[in-house]
Amino acid sequence: MQYISTRGDSLGQYCDVLLEGLAPNGGLAVPEQLPHIDAATLERWRSLSYAELATEVIGLFATDIPREDLARLCAAAYGGGTFAADEVVPLRDIGEGMTLVGLSEGPTLAFKDMAMQFLGEALEYVLAKSDRVLNVLGATSGDTGSAAEHALHGRDRISIFMLSPQGRMSAFQRAQMYSLHDDNVHNIAIDGVFDDCQNLVKQLASDLDFKRDHSIGAVNSINFGRISAQIAYYFWAWLRATDALPAQDRTGFEVSFAVPSGNFGNILSGYYAKRMGLPVRKLVLASNENNVLDEFFRTGHYRPRSAERTLATSSPSMDVSRASNLERFVFDLLGRDPQRTAAAWQELDTRGEIDLSSEQHRLLPEFGFVSGTSTHEDRLATIRTFFENSGVTLDPHTADGAKVARDHVEPGVPMLVLETAKPQKFADLIAEALGTPEEMDAATRALLDAPQRVTDLPDDEQVLRAYISERALH
């Protein structure tokens, strides 16, 4: 399979885009053509383990990795006790017509582990094959950083520089990242918000000389490797949700997915799964108070907020104003026209917004998207309600997803709510919602008490350049 940039130009095959991150022309890597999965293939996949299913799905995109090698990478990523649940992704009925898709069974208790564990294995494989090193540069609003660092720490050919916004993550999220003291892990707290961190990453990644000279790559969701791995769990969730149906009723049986959304990578993966043939009725996008994406899907106007106007909320991993992955969807919305896509992002850079209101009427019937916003009070009430009615404690981001999903539950159409993280990562918010915090186990207490190592830097591109230049692998 070949890959192209959303702004034009060929980018090569899967292993090429795995190491590249942002395309040289500033666009994002997308498949030249998405594969199609028919009903017979879906049924053949039904008996597979999660690692085996991931091999099949990712293999459609990673055609330049021999199948036996890919199977080994997926077995290493999803086997060996890395995930707490034997099935890796368990499904659980939580009432109100909703099913929780358990994506947070990995080492950092967040859905980001699902893709990051694979990406760690795949990057090491590609680097060893080509005798190269990689300096990963990323930005995190909460969970991406810890998942990336736990997947990459201690690896010889990879160094990771992870930017996070000072004071904008939970104590648990900070501890998961800053307590790693491996020589190849560099935690950098930027004086700003997540979008400032993300802008710094893009500035350095768009400098092709700096990127080449320092072997800079990415592991956040601009890396298509992450997207390909996330597509797998949409297929898994559909298969498990339809297991109990008579065989003759499974073909074409639709489900809906509710997805808490910040940088748009998670729900984009569901959109690709739908385009590949997975029977998906609705993709329910849930925003928090930073509801730029909700506004876009309701009106067609995309208006990212400034750093000063980006709110610090109680679902901090969704405190994103400018969603990197939206460009991949807009590329499709504009007929996969790279010139129109590049022009739209030029308009965004110059005017601060994109007006696609003329296309808004297509978002639900053609692409399946609906959206909504959840507030602090909404997530508190949602956490309380589901705890009282089902005994399940939702983390604040998943609560946003469940709250927005309520407006879109339809009789006979399962609503699958994608879990974002485990609630113990947000003990203060859970205590506020339920009156008492999640009981802290010994491992959590040890994590919170562990020494932390982080470097504070200003929101300054030149300072960051110098820091990376002194520490990058060569």
Q: Write the DSSP symbol of residue 391.
A: S
3-state secondary structure of 284: strand
| Strand bridging mode 158-165 / 3-5 | unpaired
* 304 is a domain residue: yes
Is the CB of residue 417 less than 8 Å from the CB of residue 94? yes
* 102 is a domain residue: yes
* 141 is a domain residue: no
* 372 is a domain residue: yes
Determine if residue 26 is left, alpha or beta; phi over 0 gives left, psi from -120 to 50 gives alpha, anything else beta: left
Q: Which residues contact 427 (CB under 8 A, 6 or more apart)?
A: 170, 171, 172, 437, 438, 440
* 126 is a domain residue: no
Specify burial of residue 365 (Cβ count, 10 A radius: 0-12, 13-18, 19+): exposed
List C-alpha distances in Å: 195 to 47, 64, 308, 311, 396: 42, 34, 10, 11, 21
* 217 is a domain residue: no
Which residue is catalytic, options 112, 211, 282, 422?
Answer: 112
Instruction: Give how many domains the chain has, as a whole number.
Output: 1
Task: Assess whether 202 carries a catalytic annotation.
Answer: no
Cα separation, 314 vs 334, in Å, equals 34
Residue-by-residue pLDDT tens, the chain, 474 positions: 999 999 999 999 999 999 877 888 999 999 999 999 999 999 999 999 999 999 999 999 999 999 999 999 999 999 989 999 999 999 999 999 999 999 999 999 999 999 999 999 999 999 999 999 999 999 987 788 999 999 999 999 999 999 999 988 888 889 999 999 999 999 999 999 988 998 999 899 889 899 999 999 888 788 999 999 999 999 999 999 999 999 999 999 999 999 999 999 999 999 999 999 999 999 999 999 999 999 999 999 999 999 889 999 999 889 988 998 999 999 999 999 999 999 999 999 999 999 999 999 999 999 999 999 999 999 999 999 999 999 999 999 999 999 999 999 999 999 999 999 999 889 899 999 999 866 777 888 898 899 999 999 999 999 999 999 999 999
3-state secondary structure of 404: helix
Is the CB of residue 140 less than 8 Å from the CB of residue 197? yes
* 368 is a domain residue: yes
Query: Tell me, what CATH number does 388's domain have?
Result: 3.40.50.1100
Q: Look up the domain containing 349 and give its range.
A: 91-109+230-434
* 324 is a domain residue: yes
Is the CB of residue 118 less than 8 Å from the CB of residue 124? no
Cα separation, 226 vs 328, in Å, equals 14
Cα separation, 334 vs 336, in Å, equals 6
Residue of 151, 14, 127 whose CA lies nearest to 76: 151
Which tokens belong to 48? 């597979």
- Tell me how far apart the terminal alpha carbons of the chain are, to the nearest angstrom: 30
Residue of 413, 57, 418 whose CA lies nearest to 237: 418
